[in-house]
Chains A and B, each alone.
Chain A
Amino acid sequence: MTQQFYVSPEQLMKDRADFARKGIGRGRSVVVMSCRDGIALVAENPSPSLHKLGEIYDRIAFAAVGKYNEFESLRQAGVRYADVRGYSYAREDVTARGLASVYAQSLGAVFTAESKPFEVELVVAEVGRTQQSDHLYRLMFDGSIADESDFVVMGGAAEAVVEALRASWSSDLSLREAVPASARSLRKAGAGPTAGDDAASGMMPDPSVLEVAFLERDPDTLRGSRRAFRRVGGPELTTLLQHEQDS
């Protein structure tokens, strides 16, 4: 007869959390930053089509690290949630807070009930009319939720990126300035502690390994659209990074 070993709930939760953390730690980092004229989302991502950043609704975006299949299904579910809500009530009734709390419930349920927790970490970002009304909700694999301000970094080298960003971040940064600042911090952290500071800071990351998106504060005046989310890629991204290097 097989013997069932007793595992304490503390141990069980700890094992699950360690497992999820290990999965997330392998991923490349993502920066979400509140700026003067919007929210900048910058990710290290070598694929131009398998996105880590996505549009959820008019003023809400999604950023994730971890397993692609898991956060992609969460992103699609989030788009459905937002569209159903906006269709049945009104567009302004779709909020990041509502979405973040259903994500938290679903991640929490998977963490305790399923055979394996989701190996993902998410940010739900909503750009407000003023910088004070920006919202950055960070969601962990176990369903815990944090209301962050200023900027959020997720992924493997998150702490190193935070360290590097702290020096360059200020609330006056514009979106255009935030991209090279985030890119440099991602690069610095990616280079590891052994690389010298000069070597890391002198080189801009290749734009082809970056995924960048903006949530613009006033899309209606800028582009005549109510949708704040805009991907930044190709020549525009190259110019943004180059401009910084020249100055």
Chain B
Amino acid sequence: MLPDDAASAIPGAAATSFADYLGVHHPSLLPPLATRDPAGADGTFDAGHLAPHATTIVSLTFPGGVLMAGDRRATLGNVIASRHIEKVFPADHYSVLGIAGSAGIGLDLARLFQVELEHYEKIEATMMSLDGKANRLAAMVRQNLSLALQGLAVVPLYAGFDAERHVGRLFSFDATGGRYEEHEHHSVGSGSVFARGALKKLWNPRLDEASAVRVGVEALYDAADDDSATGGPDVVRGLWPVVYVVDAAGTRRIPDRELEAVARALLDARSAAGREA
């Protein structure tokens, strides 16, 4: 029989989470827990105005893969805080992550999640399953619940290629760590309502990759049309949405020159149509 301390090390080794390791050994590197209400009164202390907000992310599946696109705007109240921000990141070789909500916390979450997946892969010498990755992300969003209650919520959207089933899959999350598998397409962020409406009309199950890129860009355009916090294609500065595609070959960013062509074609078509609303 093993001595007690040696035996107790076995269940301890079940989790090879980088975030958990940081939490135990280097807690200062993780996002802080919520602060007390500085006014001293209990109730609602809203920290939401302290940091910029990242906005709309859309994601859609197509046969053999999945695509995620995000606009380039971050806002602070009525001010545009950034026109260049990138909110869609490759999480690892077979998945991508988009963040909406409090930008600073979201960027930290994305970076931590990237290290989390790579860390697991190196320690275990194998990749985590797609469901496992989505569950880890849900746990990390839940950790942020106390800050979310103070107005610093982060709502990620997660998409990946499932190597077992050979399909692209989509997951959305809520601030309490709820994880929901989405089908066909989904969007999050302030412009998501408008993007969702566009996706419902534009998406169909027979899209190829190029037309999926067009649909993603057009859905973001429609979101930017009606939501002031979402940025449209910026022809003056040459800024286009960030679009990633994940398929059996892995994660790939769509180059800017392709996106420029798609965005310009879209703008031309809309101008030619000359519609008011």
Contacts and interface: CB of A to CB of B under 8 A. Distances in A.
A88 B21 contact: no
B265 interface: no
Given A49-B125, A51-B125, A80-B21, A87 B118 contact: no
Interface residues of A, number: 15
Interface residues of B, number: 15
A56 interface: yes
Contacts of B125: 49, 51, 54
Contacts of B29: 84, 87-88
Interface centre among A54, A76, A87, by most chain B C-beta atoms within 10 angstroms, is: A87
A177 B29 CA distance: 44
Nearest to B251: A224
Interface in B81-122: 93, 111-112, 115, 118-119, 122
A56 B122 CA distance: 7
A161 B22 CA distance: 42
Nearest to A227: B118
A84 B122 contact: no
Interface in A50-67: 51, 54-56
A83 B18 contact: yes
A56 B123 CA distance: 9
A88 B115 contact: no
A87 B123 contact: no
Contact of B111 (A54, A80, A87, A227): A87
A227 B123 CA distance: 15
A80 B25 CA distance: 11
A226 B237 CA distance: 29
Interface in A74-99: 76, 79-80, 83-84, 86-88
A51 B124 CA distance: 10
Contact of A55 (B25, B115, B122): B122
A84 B123 contact: no
Interface string A32-51: 00000000000000000101
Contacts of B257: none
A19 to B, nearest CB: 22
B252 to A, nearest CB: 8
B22 to A, nearest CB: 7
B21 to A, nearest CB: 6
Contact of A87 (B25, B112, B122): B112
A79 B123 contact: yes
B234 to A, nearest CB: 27
B26 interface: yes
A230 to B, nearest CB: 12
Given A84-B26, A87-B29, A79 B122 contact: yes
A49 B93 CA distance: 21
Interface centre among B112, B119, B122, by most chain A C-beta atoms within 10 angstroms, is: B122
Contacts of A76: 123
Interface in A132-174: none
A99 to B, nearest CB: 13
A83 B26 contact: no
Interface string B18-37: 10011001100100000000
Interface in B182-234: none
A84 B115 CA distance: 9
Interface in B114-156: 115, 118-119, 122-123, 125
Interface string A170-195: 00000000000000000000000000
Nearest to A86: B115
A244 B118 CA distance: 34
A12 to B, nearest CB: 26
Contacts of B25: 84
Interface of B: 18, 21-22, 25-26, 29, 93, 111-112, 115, 118-119, 122-123, 125
Interface of A: 49, 51, 54-56, 76, 79-80, 83-84, 86-88, 225, 227
Closest 10 CB pairs of A and B: A79-B122, A83-B119, A55-B122, A87-B115, A88-B29, A83-B115, A76-B123, A79-B123, A83-B18, A51-B125
22 contacts: A54-B122, A54-B125, A55-B122, A56-B122, A79-B119, A79-B123, A80-B18, A80-B21, A83-B18, A83-B115, A83-B118, A83-B122, A84-B26, A84-B29, A86-B115, A87-B29, A87-B111, A87-B115, A88-B26, A88-B29, A225-B93, A227-B118
